[in-house]
């Protein structure tokens, strides 16, 4: 791959991109992603030989996560029409374009070697900014034009897996104090689910390791800070998207096992 180094966290951003491209071909009406296939072609990415993408469950997870985060953003904007939207670890997400949002300030944050890829492949919207930063260096807070009266909503899709739990704790606690009235949505797993995440990355031909997991999300997160409140957990696959696509037998089995053993979920976390 010419634009990304092998076996890096940066390279993993192509995993959801490829999955979204496949999902867009099979279910274009579900959550239209008109960019994923184009970007795949422009980057010369060919992961057709990767075992993980032979399973419907794997590539549908990529578009379902976008759907889930879009639902949370829209729900928040119903009460905070002028809120800023911030994608942490945006990678090559085209969420704003998928949502056709040109009315809210929109920030896409990622590492210095990822932002140039965004600028090359994803046109900026009228109120959109790309911000190159290290999320563990909280100076990026100053680059967000935040007004409590307007509100702010954060997403972190597929991001925190690559952080140690203490890093996530420090980041969320600092965000909760700095951005009161805001909220964040992200996907997470328990310890058993984390083994699955590492297996999926390995199936994609990448040796990057994941670290972050939660066993009791509400109890753990609300215990981190008095400013973290109203933690709500939803099922990853069916917590938001109720239908509109035909599940294969293997997908049904995977989804049932994930739900039964609490292996993967979406979280809604508010700041006060």
Which residues lie across from 186 on neighbouring strands? 156, 267
pLDDT for 4? 55
pLDDT for 2? 47
Res 48 pLDDT > 90: no
Average pLDDT along the chain? 91
DSSP codes, the chain: --SS-TTSTGGGGHHHHHHHHHHHHH-TTTS--SSHHHHHHHHT---TT-GGGGSHHHHHHHHHHHHHHHHHHHHHHHH-TT-EEEEET-TT--HHHHHT--SS-EEEEE-TTTHHHHHHHS---TTEEEEE--TTSGGGGGGS---TTT-EEEEETT-GGGS-HHHHHHHHHHHHHHSTT-EEEEEEE-HHHHHHHHHHHHHTT---------SSHHHHHHHH-TTEEEEEEEETTTSS---SSPPPHHHHHHHHHHHHTT-EEEEEEEE-
The sign of the torsion formed by the CA atoms of 227, 169, 234, 109 equals: positive
Residues 6+ positions from 129 with CB-CB distance below 8 Å? 105, 106, 107, 108, 143
Percent of the chain with pLDDT strictly greater than 70 = 94
pLDDT for 248? 95
Exposure b/e, 50-87, CB count within 10 A at least 16 = b: bebbebbbbbbbbbbbbbbbbbbbeebbeebeebbbbb
CATH superfamily name and code, 10-271: Vaccinia Virus protein VP39 (3.40.50.150)
Q: Kindly state the average pLDDT of the residues 91-103.
A: 95
Cα angle 225, 184, 28 (rounded to 5 degrees) comes to 160
pLDDT for 10? 56
**pLDDT confidence bin for 18, thresholds 50/70/90:** confident
Res 15 pLDDT > 70: yes
Per-residue pLDDT of 211-234, as tens digits, reads 999 999 999 999 999 999 999 999
**pLDDT confidence bin for 204, thresholds 50/70/90:** low
pLDDT for 1? 43
The label of the residue with tokens 């890093």 reads: 167
For residue 226, give the nearest of 270, 161, 259 by alpha carbon: 270
The label of the residue with tokens 């670290």 reads: 211
Per-residue pLDDT of 128-154, as tens digits, reads 999 999 999 999 999 999 999 999 999
The residue length of the chain stands at 272
Q: Kindly state the average pLDDT of the residues 192-208.
A: 79
Residue 159 or residue 32, greater confidence: 159
Q: Kindly state the average pLDDT of the residues 110-124.
A: 94
pTM of the model: 0.93
pLDDT for 253? 95
Q: Kindly state the average pLDDT of the residues 46-56.
A: 77
């Amino acid at each position: 791959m010419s634009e990304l180094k092998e076996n890096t966290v940066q390279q993993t951003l192509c995993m959801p991109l490829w999955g979204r491209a496949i999902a867009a071909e099979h279910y274009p009406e579900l959550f239209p992603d008109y960019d994923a296939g184009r970007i795949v072609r422009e980057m010369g990415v060919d992961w057709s030989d990767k075992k993980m993408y032979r399973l419907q469950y794997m590539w549908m997870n990529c578009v379902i996560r976008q759907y889930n985060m879009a639902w949370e953003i829209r729900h928040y904007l119903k009460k905070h029409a002028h809120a800023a939207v911030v994608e942490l670890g945006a990678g090559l997400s085209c969420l704003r374009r998928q949502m056709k949002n040109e009315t809210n300030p929109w920030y896409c944050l990622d590492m210095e070697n990822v932002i140039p890829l965004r600028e090359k492949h994803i046109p900026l919207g009228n109120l959109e900014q790309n911000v190159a930063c290290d999320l563990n260096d909280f100076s990026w807070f100053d680059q967000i034009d935040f007004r409590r009266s307007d509100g702010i909503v954060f997403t972190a899709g597929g991001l925190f897996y690559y952080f140690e739990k203490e890093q996530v704790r420090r980041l969320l606690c600092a965000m909760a104090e700095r951005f009161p009235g805001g909220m964040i949505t992200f996907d997470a797993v328990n310890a058993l689910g984390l083994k699955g995440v590492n297996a999926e990355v390995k199936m994609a031909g990448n040796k990057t390791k994941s670290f972050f997991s939660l066993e009791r999300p509400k109890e753990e997160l609300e215990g981190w800070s008095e400013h973290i409140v109203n933690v709500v957990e939803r099922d990853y696959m069916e917590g938001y998207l109720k239908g509109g696509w035909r599940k294969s037998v293997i997908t049904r089995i995977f989804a049932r096992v994930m739900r039964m053993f609490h292996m993967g979920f979406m979280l809604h976390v508010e700041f006060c």
